[in-house]
Amino acid sequence: MPVSRRSLLAAASAAPVLGLAACFSEGSEGATASGRVRVAHMLPPRSGLSPLSDDAFKLSRWATAETLVVLDTDGNALPWLAQDWIQEGNTWTFTLREDVVFHDGTAFTAEAVANSLAFAAQAAPKPRILDGVELTVEVAGSTVAVTTADTDPLLPHRLSSPQLSILAAKAYRDGIVDPVGAGTGAFVLTSVDGTSSASLDRNEDWWGGEVLAAGIDASFVPDGTARAGKLRAGEADIVEAIPVSQAGLLEPDQITEVPMPRTCTLYLNCSTGPFSDPGVRAAAREAIDAATIVEGVYDGRADLAEGLLGPAIPWAAERAGRTRPATAANTAGTTITLGTFTDRAELPEVAQVLQQQLQEAGFAVELDIREYANIEADALDGAFDAFLLSRATVLDSGDPVAYMFSDFASDGSFNLSQFADDGVDAALGTAAATQPGEDRRAAVLAAETAILNADAAIPLLHERVIQGDAASVSGSLKDPRERELVGPQTRLV
């Protein structure tokens, strides 16, 4: 598997930071610059590629927008645009690199960093990595001091989120963020054609060293069959999220399958409707046979869920057993609406299986299936009794607490379950305040148990990422966190 640029940085961490460029060059010795890499993505941009939305992960996967901090494979925080940092009370002070220039030619300065972070902190809604976090930013020479209202042991990890990418001042205008030509990464975003395509050119002056590919031509292909077909037809070099149904139609050496921190979960509306009754939620949980879904819909290419966190987070296996606090209610004749989206090819089929299983338990189930862009707002407004979602659980910080806050805290910004519970809020608060390490992990698992015991959500399975690569591609990145895809060492051979 190609070496991640995060791993290269870790290898160079014992040497002066300028050793990074040499580290990259050494990894590509003998290679020559190649042509443009064609990438087929699953989801189109939802917010004009604003880094304050999930579009940030496209910017990260194209290596165009960068953050102060990155994570290694174990989730530890490492320097990137920041060289180092120290903590004093509620304040973290970051010393910045001095050899970075934005794509528009302006200087990478502490003022630019403060501007990006302050804009994100004041946005409405804020990036979910900042759920429950109040911060202020001050500049002192080549350092940036970030102060939080409460002591936050995870702040460096938060700043690794692609949603907190640092962009040039020109990106911020009239309350929106436009990343075109405003990043610092290995590729320069030059144009975006709505929700159909984007183009990036090689950054000839990237601070990290040589960039091998001439550029990236990205297309957005929500239909999974069509996306896989582009690889078979030689119309794409890298294809993300190959549907399970298509994986068997490709050559074995064209696909890579990696367990990932992504869970297919059924969120239950705990505020209104039938699932406001804990007994009805318990009845739904007991009616569902997730093993049938793993073997039938996913052809065994997934892992049965024992909780919200899966095998891509090894320490999650240490969880204690669940309790079953609610007695299942009689659900005969209970009508529920179940929503999901078409962008992930397996979800509509999973929804149909769930419909059948729940109807066998006495529910009457109405399905509402649309493209994600057309259903997200209704889901967040609580328009469904249940919503089926494929959800990354450590996407933002390498730590599950941010995801749990976002999805299950009373004021979480992505609370599809419309869930509010003082005990869960307290458990999440304890986890958030605990230093990284074994104690924090134990606190995370305690919060997970409290959420599961309330049946706010029913985890079904943990997905594996299936990425497609043409034989002509070298150095593409297979990242379980979905932060990296095309890197400086990616090239056509």
451-463 pLDDT tens trace: 999 999 999 999 9
If pLDDT is split at 50, 70 and 90, which confidence band does 150 have?
confident
User: What pLDDT score does 29 carry?
Assistant: 44
pLDDT tens-digit readout, 292-308? 999 999 999 899 998 99
Q: CATH 3.40.190.10 residue ranges in the chain?
A: 5-221+470-492
Q: 366 - beta bridge partners?
A: 337
DSSP annotation of 107: B
Task: Say how far apart CA 272 and CA 334 lie, in whole Å.
Answer: 14
pLDDT tens-digit readout, 346-377? 999 999 999 999 999 999 999 999 999 999 99
Examine the pLDDT at 23 and tell me if it is beyond 60: no
Q: Which of 90-94, 128-132, 222-226 has the lowest mean pLDDT?
A: 128-132
Measure Cα distances from 472 to 13, 225, 248, 332, 487 in Å: 32, 21, 20, 56, 16
Whether the predicted model's global pTM rises above the 0.85 cut: no
Phi (first) and psi of residue 284, to 5 degrees = -65, -45
The mean predicted confidence, pLDDT, of the chain is 90
Handedness of CA 405, 410, 413, 417 (dihedral sign): positive
User: What pLDDT score does 325 carry?
Assistant: 64
User: What pLDDT score does 76 carry?
Assistant: 83
Share of the chain above pLDDT 70, in %: 92
Examine the pLDDT at 5 and tell me if it is beyond 60: no
Mean pLDDT, residues 276-290 taken together: 96
pLDDT tens-digit readout, 474-490? 999 998 888 999 999 99
pLDDT tens-digit readout, 156-183? 999 999 999 999 999 999 889 999 999 9
DSSP annotation of 149: S
Exposed, middle or buried: residue 89 (CB in 10 Å: 0-12, 13-18, 19+)? exposed
Examine the pLDDT at 406 and tell me if it is beyond 50: yes
User: What pLDDT score does 20 carry?
Assistant: 41
Task: Say how far apart CA 422 and CA 77 lie, in whole Å.
Answer: 31
Examine the pLDDT at 226 and tell me if it is beyond 80: yes
User: What pLDDT score does 14 carry?
Assistant: 35
User: What pLDDT score does 338 carry?
Assistant: 98
Examine the pLDDT at 259 and tell me if it is beyond 70: yes
- Domain 5-221+470-492 CATH class label: alpha beta
Measure Cα distances from 197 to 126, 143, 270 in Å: 26, 37, 39
Q: Which of 130-139, 185-194, 207-216, 310-319 has the lowest mean pLDDT?
A: 310-319
Q: CATH 3.10.105.10 residue ranges in the chain?
A: 259-464
State which fold the 259-464 domain adopts. Answer: Dipeptide-binding Protein; domain 3 (3.10.105)
If pLDDT is split at 50, 70 and 90, which confidence band does 13 have?
very low
Task: Say how far apart CA 317 and CA 312 lie, in whole Å.
Answer: 10
pLDDT tens-digit readout, 76-123? 899 999 999 999 999 999 999 999 999 999 999 999 999 999 999 999
If pLDDT is split at 50, 70 and 90, which confidence band does 324 have?
low
If pLDDT is split at 50, 70 and 90, which confidence band does 466 have?
very high
User: What pLDDT score does 175 carry?
Assistant: 85
User: What pLDDT score does 33 carry?
Assistant: 65
